[in-house]
Amino acid sequence: MIGSGSIQALAGAAMHEVERVAWTPDQRDLLRRIEAHPFERADHALDFTSRLARDRGWSLAFARGAVAEYRRFCFLAMVFDTPVTPSEEVDEVWHQHLTYSRDYWEVWCGPVLGRRLHHDPTEGGASEQGRYRMQYAETLARYEAFFGPPDPCFWPATHRRFRSRPRYRIVDGDRVWTVRRPALPGWFARPAMVIGLAFAGLGALPQPAFALPLDPLDWTADPFLRLYGGLVAVAVLVALVLRSALSGGGGAVPARDLDVVELAFLAGGSGRATDAVILGLIDHGAASFSTGSGHVTVEDRGIPLPPSLERYRGLAEGTVPRSTLSRALRPHIEAVRAGLVARGLVPGRDILNRITFWTLVTVAPVVLFGLAKMAVGTARGKPVGYLFLLVAILIVLTTLILSMRPSHTRIGAGVLAGYRDRHARAARAPREREILFAFALGGAAILAGTPYEAYARFSQAANAGSSGGGGGGDGGGGGGCSGGGGGGGGCGGCGS
């Protein structure tokens, strides 16, 4: 049974801000000593940083960045009495530094840090996993207080940091082949590339094609298929560009902050907004969720609720299936959508209808052109299988474009980008009181490893017919190390 006490519903953006600390002279002196410690030596053919880059397959620049983050991590371990937990990248630097035992124990933990910093493997298990997830989130909050928002390249989101499959592992090169995973281009983010390929297809027509009949319906199969393939690519690209251009929204970016339900709708639609309400009620003690039956018990009489949740009071009473509560919430979630439409953050029916109309106007001529050629080819006794396949592909892609309606306007996307930028740390690695905000902004994956992971899985199965990304990591590969002696640190990937 999931009850209250694990999350605090957050509506105000300021609640996610981490107050910057005022540095003391001792802290400045500590950081100066840490930053002065050499990890690169000109007199070494293979110094610490070069070895780190070589053994991990990193570029030298990335290895230097990881070393810089390791310095900051060790600073945090010294200025706080409670343990801190590194990212996997920082932990790799820590692991290697421990192999330089004289430098680590006699210099680093001596005159540099001033006390010993121990590194102990995790004990494993779900409880350890949960503890180190929260410890990691607190570490990033402390980092932000001293150094500003942590770089996501070296400090990833909590659910990625504690995924079940560790990112770094030792392999036997005589038994295992290691192949670099290709960095696939973002086709939809690079429309110029798609246009280039489309026109390259047209340019690939053989020179005799320029002497073909003026009517393409009289062309032979090879040049026509090349032409039609290019037209299909251009039609799909234009449909995507129009989809983006027409979902602009109107007015200026709203000044007031969104509440957690509005933010959830803007970022993830009605399903996420519904879950945000239910999780908010659970958090405030107005409801509880049974992981076995999937039922929600609502007991909100006399329970104080914030304004963002007060409007959902009394929609159900007693123990009901989650689906029943979701249906009761539907008119209220629709009102949230209408409010966001009025503010220009979510596309209204008129925008969606325009997108549908212009998508069909763009694609229909190409489909009809292909059907006409198929009719000509069939009448002349020519095979039309490849052309039929291209037409079918275009129809399927068009159907997908029309089914994936934009969830927000360009202004709405700007508002979301602003939230993600201003609250990057809280969205990636939320502390206990920030989980609901992070869920609203980032979805169910952020609930992995929290008391709400089971709810996330149940909700995703109900909404999408599968468990989806709510699972995240388990206790096997994440884990951590707690500090001993003079300082403490938790690591991920040490356990098994």
3-state DSSP helix/strand/coil % of the chain, to nearest 5: 60, 5, 40
**What was the pLDDT predicted at 98?**
95
Residue 332 and residue 312 in contact, taking contact as beta carbons nearer than 8 Å: yes
**Which pLDDT score is estimated for 317?**
82
The whole-number pLDDT of residue 342 equals 86
Average pLDDT over residues 88-109: 95
Name residue, tokens 């590339």. Answer: 193
Rg (CA), the chain: 28
Band (480; pLDDT cuts 50, 70, 90): very low
Over the stretch 357-407, which tens digit does the pLDDT of each residue have? 999 999 999 999 999 999 999 998 989 999 999 999 999 999 999 988 888
487 compared with 474, residue with greater pLDDT? 487
Q: What is the pLDDT of residue 474?
A: 34
Supply the pLDDT for residue 493.
39
Mean pLDDT across the chain, nearest whole number?
Answer: 80
Residue 285 vs residue 195, higher pLDDT: 285
CA dihedral sign, ordered 454, 455, 460, 466? positive
Write phi, then psi, for 458 (nearest 5 degrees).
-65, -45
pLDDT surpasses 60 at 193: no
How many residues are given for the chain? 496
DSSP for 334-403, please give it: HHHHHHHHHTTSS--HHHHHHHHHHHHHHHHHHHHHHHHHHHHHHHTT---HHHHHHHHHHHHHHHHHHH
- Phi and psi at 101, nearest 5°, equal -60, -40
pLDDT band for 16, please (50, 70, 90 cuts). low
Mean pLDDT, residues 34-62 taken together? 92
Query: Does pLDDT of 38 surpass 90?
Result: yes
**Using one digit for the tens of pLDDT, what is the confidence trace for 237-265?**
999 988 888 877 554 455 467 889 999 99
Q: What's the confidence (pLDDT) of residue 27?
A: 94
Pairing between β-strand 318-321 and β-strand 295-298 as defined by DSSP bridges? antiparallel
Query: Which of the residue ranges 17-31, 45-59, 66-80, 101-115 would you say has the lowest mean pLDDT?
Result: 17-31
Q: What is the pLDDT of residues 421-467, one digit of tens each?
A: 778 888 888 887 888 888 988 888 888 878 788 888 888 777 654 33
Report, as an integer, the average pLDDT of 48-77: 93
Residue range 266-292: mean pLDDT, rounded = 88
Contacts 24+ apart (CB under 8 A), 12-17: 12/257, 13/257, 13/419, 13/422, 13/423, 15/433, 15/434, 15/437, 16/422, 16/423, 16/426, 16/434, 16/437, 17/423
Q: Say if residue 475's pLDDT is above 60.
A: no
